[in-house]
Amino acid sequence: MKTLYFTHCCATKDDSLKNTKAKVSPLHLYQSDTTQKFMKRCIETGVAWAIFSDKYGFVFPSDQIQWYEKHPNSVAIIEKKRLFDDAFKVLQDYDLVYFYYNPGRIHPLYLELVDEMKKRGKDVWKITHLENIRKWMRHIHFKSLIISYMQQPQIVRAIAAIVVVVCVIYSEFPKR
């Protein structure tokens, strides 16, 4: 099962790259504490991740981009349409998608992105704590079972759902 975690870009970038043509990875470019912690948590847990940039759209760890300054307020309607269309194409490659954000510091553009993806049929799950990256990892296997059984007869789907619920409930209680 292919899973992606992403967060939005930040204003704090490596200013030594400003006014240069140098291209660097998002890990090097984006310098805010929150964004750095997100990227490091994803690397530690071994999950696929990306940054949603107001200029470039999804930027993956292997991508190389130049320093830029683009506030979400400056994204024109035509740019937003392109960014959202490109985002939808990218997300089609993933079975599960999680968006990490700080509810106290989120620009409406990014929530609009998530809502637009849902309207187009691509669920994006919101997470607000870095610890959830690890927590959700243990549920990915269960979700993949559900997805793979959706094409099975109804009785098989019902049994699979019961098994998943029991396993999730059991995993939430401390072991003795």
pLDDT per residue over 90-109, tens digit each?
Answer: 999 999 999 999 988 899 99
Q: 9 and 67 share a domain?
A: yes
Instruction: Supply the range of the domain harboring residue 167.
Output: 133-172
Which one of 128, 147, 164 terminates a domain? 128
Number of folded domains that form the chain: 2
pLDDT of residue 162: 79
Q: 109 and 153 share a domain?
A: no
pLDDT of residue 1: 79
pLDDT of residue 143: 56
Q: Got the DSSP string for 61-128?
A: TT--EE-----GGG--HHHHHHHHHHHHHHHTT-SEEEEE--GGG--HHHHHHHHHHHHTT---EEE-
- Which of the residues in the chain have pLDDT under 70? 134-153, 156-157, 160, 167-176
Q: 92 and 138 share a domain?
A: no
Q: 151 and 70 share a domain?
A: no
Q: 42 and 121 share a domain?
A: yes
What pTM value is reported for the model? Answer: 0.77
Q: 30 and 111 share a domain?
A: yes
